[in-house]
């Protein structure tokens, strides 16, 4: 289980955060400078369009920006897409 935008979601070991976001019905991970939604595009870590904010269970006071397509799920993760994070 992990939390995506304050909703608990069942996940499979080895899945990427991008997969979880897309399968949960989300399409956008962040907003570009013009405010347009951006989501997983290259799925190999080059474009950085899938940046999300992660809070790991071992470090609850630390927010980390990661590429969703390059980050595998971990039990207890809290993941926030740009729409859910305060500007």
- Predicted model pTM: 0.85
For 29, other C-beta atoms within 10 Å of its C-beta total 28
For residue 49, what are the domain limits? Answer: 2-84
On the question of pLDDT at 42 being above 80, the answer is: yes
CATH number of the domain bearing residue 49: 3.10.20.440
**Model confidence pLDDT, tens digit, residues 20-35:** 999 998 888 888 888 8
On the question of pLDDT at 47 being above 80, the answer is: yes
Q: In the chain, how many domains are there?
A: 1
Cβ proximity of 68 and 6 under 8 Å: no
């Amino acid at each position: 289980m992990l939390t995506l935008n304050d909703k608990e979601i069942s996940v499979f070991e080895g899945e990427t955060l991008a997969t979880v976001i897309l399968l949960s019905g989300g399409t956008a991970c962040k907003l570009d400078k013009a405010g347009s939604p951006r989501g997983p595009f290259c799925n190999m870590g080059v474009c950085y369009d899938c940046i999300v904010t992660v809070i790991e269970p071992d470090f609850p006071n630390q927010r980390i920006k990661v590429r969703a397509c390059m980050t595998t799920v971990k039990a207890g993760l809290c993941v926030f897409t740009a729409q859910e994070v305060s500007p």
